[in-house]
Every structure is written in C-alpha cells, then in structure tokens.
Structure 1
Amino acid sequence: MSDNKLIEAYNDLMGHLYEVMDDGIHSLANALEKAKEKTSEIGGVTQEELSKISDYVKRDVEHAAHALNEDGTDDLSEWLKFDIDLIENFALDAFMSVADKTSVELAKLKTLAEQNTYHSGEVTGPGTFVCDQCNKEIAFKTTSVIPKCPACGADTFVRC
C-alpha cells in the first residue's frame, strides 16, 4: 500500500472514530472497532492494513489525551510543539474531540501511554517527535509516514 493510501486510511478512520464517539458514550476500544467497521465498508485497504492504521490512530489519540489530561490544558499547540494554524488537511476538531473524550479513559492507562514508541514506516497524526538515538526533532504538520531519522538513520522516536 502506498504512503498516500495509508494516510487516507488514517484520516478516514479518524473521521469515523469522531462520528462514533460523537454518537454517545463509548470507550476508545469500542468506538475504534465501530470506526474500523465503517472504514472497512469503504474498501481500499486490507484487514491487516486497517489493523495497523487502527493501532496508529489509537496510539496518537491516547498520547494526545494523556498529554492534555496530565498538563491540565487544552492547548493543542503546546502538545504539538508548533502553531496549530500550520496544520493542513487534518480534522482538528475531530482529533481534539476524540482526544478529550479519551482523556478520562487514559487517566487509568497512564503507564501505557508513557511507553509509546513510534517507529519509521508507521503513520502518525501531526506532531513533533524526537529520535531515541540522537535527539533530532522532526515535525509533521499533516498525517504522515514516519521516516528514518534524517540525522542518524535510527528507526524509533518519542513524541515530545
């Protein structure tokens, strides 16, 4: 699957997740399953690819909700480490809504959220990441596929 197809699937799944979370009170896990079903109906991705994308969306939403809950702020710019006006083609309202609804659930999952590691080749939402090896920061203003570190070639990052 091409990078563009992965990015499109990530954005579709995020949109469906927003719709499901907006329909009522669902845990992130339940809402994500319903969103996966809706995304699967559209077609264009295999179940394996959809599972990967679902994992990426879950990771990003959990991290955002954890950070927003822990900081006691709703300032997305601080979490992203850049001005949200720079975000292009991303359902910001959907992402924030899902993250906000998930923050209560994530308060129980603090340890898990702190262990999120991002790998090259994975898809992620906008944000700034730091290489585990050389501390090089890379920023994504749109949904993107994480590359190898441009400074040292490492494969693992953490969101800063």
Structure 2
Amino acid sequence: MNKNKLIAAYSDFMKHLHETMENTLHSFAEALEISKEKTSKTSDLTADELNKLSGYIKRDIEGAAHGLSDKEDKDSLSEWFKFDIELIENFTLDAFLSVADKTRLELDKLKQLAETHTYHSGDITVPGTFICDDCGKEIAFKTTSEIPECPACHATTFIRI
C-alpha cells in the first residue's frame, strides 16, 4: 500500500466530507459514506484502502469533536492538535474545524439521547424513530413494532430521537 497515495487521498476525502456536510443535511455517518464513494471515483484506492482511510478520518474527526469547546474555537483545536494551528493549510483547517464542530454537535445530541434510554433489537416499542448506536442509521416505526437488528450494520442498540 502506497502511503503517499493514502495521504493525498485523505485530503481529497476531507474536501468531499466538508462539501457534503456544508451543502446538505446528512449525518456525519452518511456524509462519511458519501465522501468515501466520491473519493473512490477520484482515486485508484482499493475498497480496503478506502475503508481504512474512512476509519482514519472518522477517528480524527470524532477525536477533534470531543476536544472542541461549545463554540468553533481555534484555541481548543490548537490544544487538541498540541501545536499552533496557524501551521495548517487554511482550507484544510477550515474544513476540518467545520466538520469537527458539526460532528461535536451530533455527538452531543446522541449523548443526551443516550442518557435517557437505550433500546435493543427484540424490544417492543411504540411508533417512533430510532438511531443505530453504531452507524447512525435511522429506522422509523409507524405502528407498535419489534425493533430489528440495524438494517445497515446489524448492530443491536438504538436511541430514540
């Protein structure tokens, strides 16, 4: 696996992720998948390399999101990076900060929801919408139903939204 190829693709993937989250109302998980698909069309990465790259970006964005304060704050991001963010290329920084902040808000919302109740596959529930704890896939019930495994990733825990 060519590391330089992955490093270049990381930047392209981040640009796609930033554009996807700026222009639409996708969740971070959905935007990550869309960006992976766009990156696959503009690179010669294998499916395995794309999955690995997607994992790296997910890890980095979620890590930064946990490190950000309640407002887009370059000081808190500098603290997370442990160096002066002025050393980072401007677009990369803006894209990363924007995606990390939106992801922080998404994670905060999920955390608040998780503190109330967790639902499991096999549970019976009244109508409502649930988010998969693992991949963020939403499933909705219009009648009293049994909660299935996640149709996207087969996880078994959900949060009601």
Q: Do these two structures clear the TM 0.5 threshold for a shared fold by scoring above it?
A: yes
Measure the CA separation in 2 of the matches of 1:89 and 1:22. 17
Q: What is the CA-CA distance between 1:31 and the residue it aligns to? A: 0.4
Tell me the number of residue pairs that the alignment of Structure 1 and Structure 2 aligns: 109
Superposed CA RMSD: 2.1
> Residue in 1 aligned with 2:115?
none
Deviations 1:65-111 (A, max 9, x none): 11104x7661221221111122258711100010011111122359x
2:26 corresponds to which letter in structure 1? Answer: H
Measure the CA separation in 1 of the matches of 2:12 and 2:88. 17
Q: Normalised by the size of structure 2, how large is the TM-score?
A: 0.62
Q: Does 1:82 align with 2:83?
A: yes
Runs of 5+ in structure 2 lacking a partner? 113-161
Measure the CA separation in 2 of the matches of 1:79 and 1:59. 13
Runs of 5+ in structure 1 lacking a partner? 111-160
Identical counterparts, % of pairs: 61
> Residue in 2 aligned with 1:61?
61
Whether contact under 8 Å (2:16, 2:39) holds in the other structure is yes
Pair member with larger Rg: 2
Measure the CA separation in 2 of the matches of 1:41 and 1:21. 19
Q: Which has the higher contact order (CA 8 A, sep 6+)?
A: 1
Q: Normalised by the size of structure 1, how large is the TM-score?
A: 0.62
